Amino acid sequence: MKLTVWTYEGPPHVGAMRVATGMTGLHYVLHAPQGDTYADLLFTMIERRDHRPPVTYTTFQARDLGSDTAGLFKSSCQDAYDRFKPEAIIVGASCTAELIQDDPGGLAETMGLDIPVIPLELPSYQRKENFGADETFFQIVRHLAKPMEKTKRVTCNLLGPTALGFRHRDDIQEITNLLYELGVEVNVTAPMTATPSDIAKMGQAHFNVLLYPETGEQAARYCERTFDQPYTKVVPIGTGATHDFIAEIRELTGSTAKLDTDRLRQTWWSRSVDSTYLTGKRVFIFGDGTHVKAAARIARDEMGFDVAGMGCYNREMARDIRAAAKDYGLEALITDDYLEVERAIEALQPEMILGTQMERHIGKRLGIPCAVISAPVHVQDFPARYSPQMGFEGANVIFDTWIHPLVMGLEEHLLHMFREDFEFHDAAGPSHHGGHAPKPMGPAAGEGGSMPAETAPPAPVNDNVIWLADAEKELKKIPFFVRGKARRNTETFAAEKGLNEISLDTLYEAKAHYAR
């Protein structure tokens, strides 16, 4: 039993729904109680989809349990077949149905439907949403894709995008265009945009582009084994990774097509003097493994940030992220416990968080700016405008998104100079965010904070250090966006020197010590 407040991932059948909803012509018959229908709103509200997800829930009740839940499953399955006329059906159980052991796969098989029926085994009490998507996509490919003659021209499949994915819609477009410029056509993009008959044709591509390992890796491996299709290992998020991806494609295809990189503005935007203020900003990075790995590289090599901490919530990627973290001289935080992430951020006092919607809320509470880089998503992660994360346009989008929550260069100086101006004080927050004053640092307000009893005081590095009044006062004059860092550095400095009091002098000695 594990006490959970907020979760990074839903149950595995929600992953299966992401696959089914991304596709067309596929229907999912899910043995589940009525309350599980809440999952529809993820797609219709958060992603603003204009159709219901293609899911039929059996919605069995307590009174059905003693009698005939299996019969109910069969009639739901038949109704779904008659009404929606899908090309193929996937069937499975949610956590509750798993316990009553009706075996949806076996039941559906006895019905003799004249379309492919794909059974899913998703262990709800062990695995989570990403696994559910990955496994479902794999089963669909395994059942439907047939060996085929390769296309005459060089083609590939794009693997991994699903409904409710973080910017999948736009990544598909960006990478399809990039590949086109390299002379490679996309054969099938799946699961998102594909029909079951498209899946059947996957085998005719020459290779696969694995966009999202979280949701497409099993299928990519299967295709490698079965259809002799190698798959790409670089995820093209960030300028450097996009160049590596292009090199990988050239290697796989022999393409020598020239690329026009005029659209890539991120490199100049980063080098231009206005961006100097980004140098060495301490960032904490958390999300799914793929996005975290990409974000860390961008943060250090393309933005000039200092990666102060990183980790991921999906254990499937733990090994990768641990190895990546080593490169940055860090120990990765692998956890799906929101409170643990909150504590890590609180202790590190980064100047910025690159995280998920969950970290955005942690940031709000702690007064630390945050940009969202990964699922779990919320409605604002589905913008109306084109905003991929991948490819050259993705690099531009990421640059803009990450600097948006920060106080801009000149403004930062002005805040230092006029910090006692009544309108221009630090608590007002960045001037381009009307009405979003970050909360001051310090003990979380009882009701407003999450889990206050546990995390109330901002953990000092060393509990034995006392801030003397004049030093404390001086600390308050430091603008909010560097105050956390100043406090932390000073406390570390004091601890190293074996001091148990921090005076004004200690503060400035620490400042000199850490000067860069």
Partner 1 sequence: MTSQMTPPPTLGCRQSPVLKQRGQREVFCGLTGIIWLHRKIQDAFFLVVGSRTCAHLLQSAAGVMIFAEPRFGTAILEESDLAGLNDAHAELDRTVSELLARRPDIRQLFLVGSCPSEVIKLDLNRAAERLTQEFAPKVRVLEYSGSGIETTFTQGEDACLASMVPVLPDTQVRELMVVGALPDVVEDQMLGLLADLGIGPVRVLPARNIDGELGVGSNTVFALTQPFLGDTHAALERRGARHLPAPFPFGEEGTTAWLAAIAKAFGVSQDLFDKVTEAPRRRARQAIAQAAAPLNAKSIFFFPDSQLEIPLARFLTRECGMTPIEVGSPYIHDALHGPDLDLLPAGPQISEGQDVDLQLDRCRAARPDLTVCGLGLANPLEAEGLSTKWAIELVFTPVHFYEQAGDLASLFARPLRRKDILGVAAE
Interface positions with ligand SF4 (CB under 6 A): 33, 35-36, 95-96, 404-405, 433, 436
Sheet containing strand 55-57, edge to edge, reads 55-57, 26-31, 88-93, 117-119
Q: List the one residue from 142, 221, 265, 378 that touches partner 1 (CB under 8 A).
A: 378
Residue with the shortest CB distance to ligand SF4: 35
Residue 358 φ/ψ, nearest 5 degrees: -70, -45
Check binding of 365 to partner 1 (CB under 8 A). Answer: yes
378 binds, among ligand SF4, partner 1, none (CB under 5 to 8 A by kind): partner 1
Q: Which is nearer to partner 1, 68 or 327 (CB)?
A: 68
Beta carbon of residue 455, minimum distance to ligand SF4 (angstroms, whole number): 22
Q: Check if the beta carbon of residue 108 is closer than 8 Å to that of residue 119.
A: yes
Q: List the one residue from 273, 384, 417, 453 that touches partner 1 (CB under 8 A).
A: 453
How far lies 440's CA from each of 353, 429, 515, in Å? 16, 10, 25
Of the chain, the end-to-end C-alpha distance in Å amounts to 48
Q: Which is nearer to ligand SF4, 66 or 435 (CB)?
A: 435
383 binds, among partner 1, ligand SF4, none (CB under 5 to 8 A by kind): none
10 binds, among ligand SF4, partner 1, none (CB under 5 to 8 A by kind): partner 1
149 binds, among partner 1, ligand SF4, none (CB under 5 to 8 A by kind): none
Residue 269 φ/ψ, nearest 5 degrees: -60, -35
In this structure, how many other beta carbons lie within 10 angstroms of the beta carbon of residue 484?
21
Residue 190 φ/ψ, nearest 5 degrees: -150, 155
11 binds, among partner 1, ligand SF4, none (CB under 5 to 8 A by kind): partner 1
Q: Which is nearer to partner 1, 101 or 256 (CB)?
A: 101
Alpha helices (runs of H) in 129-190, residue ranges in sequence order: 129-144, 168-181
Q: Which is nearer to partner 1, 433 or 511 (CB)?
A: 433
Beta carbon of residue 285, minimum distance to partner 1 (angstroms, whole number): 20
76 binds, among ligand SF4, partner 1, none (CB under 5 to 8 A by kind): partner 1
Name the one residue in this structure whose structure tokens are 């990768």.
320
- Cite the beta strand spans of 242-298 per DSSP E: 282-287
Check binding of 36 to partner 1 (CB under 8 A). Answer: yes
Check binding of 65 to partner 1 (CB under 8 A). Answer: yes
Residues 174, 276: Cα–Cα separation, whole Å: 29
Q: Which residues contact 504 (CB under 8 A, 6 or more apart)?
A: 468, 470, 471, 474
Q: Which is nearer to partner 1, 41 or 427 (CB)?
A: 41
Beta carbon of residue 333, minimum distance to partner 1 (angstroms, whole number): 20
Name the one residue in this structure whose structure tokens are 């069995």.
60
- Tokens linked to 407: 């106080």
Per residue, what are the HEC states of 487-506?
HHHHHHHHHHCCCCEECHHH
Q: Which is nearer to ligand SF4, 132 or 405 (CB)?
A: 405
Q: List the one residue from 25, 105, 230, 449 that touches partner 1 (CB under 8 A).
A: 449
Number of residues that bind partner 1 (CB under 8 A): 63
Q: Which residues contact 440 (CB under 8 A, 6 or more apart)?
A: 367, 427, 480
Name the one residue in this structure whose structure tokens are 């990403």.
130
- Tokens linked to 230: 């190698």
Residues in 133-152 that interact with partner 1 by CB under 8 A:
none
Per-residue burial over 366-382, b = 16 or more CB atoms within 10 Å of its CB, e = otherwise: bbbbbbbbbbbbeeebb
CA 371 distance to own-chain centroid: 11
Binding mask 84-113 for partner 1 (x = CB under 8 A): ----------xxx--xx-------------
Q: List the one residue from 66, 110, 125, 515 that touches partner 1 (CB under 8 A).
A: 125
C-alpha dihedral (458, 460, 464, 469), degrees to nearest 10 = -70
Q: Which of 274, 400, 470, 505 is catalytic?
A: 274
Q: Check if the beta carbon of residue 338 is closer than 8 Å to that of residue 6.
A: yes
Identify the DSSP state of 440.
Answer: P
Check binding of 41 to partner 1 (CB under 8 A). Answer: yes
45 binds, among ligand SF4, partner 1, none (CB under 5 to 8 A by kind): partner 1
- Tokens linked to 469: 């009044």
Q: List the one residue from 142, 221, 343, 361 that touches partner 1 (CB under 8 A).
A: 361
Mark whether 228 is an active-site residue. Answer: no
Q: Which is nearer to ligand SF4, 48 or 432 (CB)?
A: 432
Q: Which is nearer to partner 1, 231 or 338 (CB)?
A: 338
List active site positions: 274
Contacts with partner 1 by CB under 8 A lie at: 1-7, 9-11, 13-14, 33-42, 44-45, 48-52, 56-62, 65, 76, 79, 83, 94-96, 99-100, 123-126, 128, 357, 361, 365, 378, 446-454
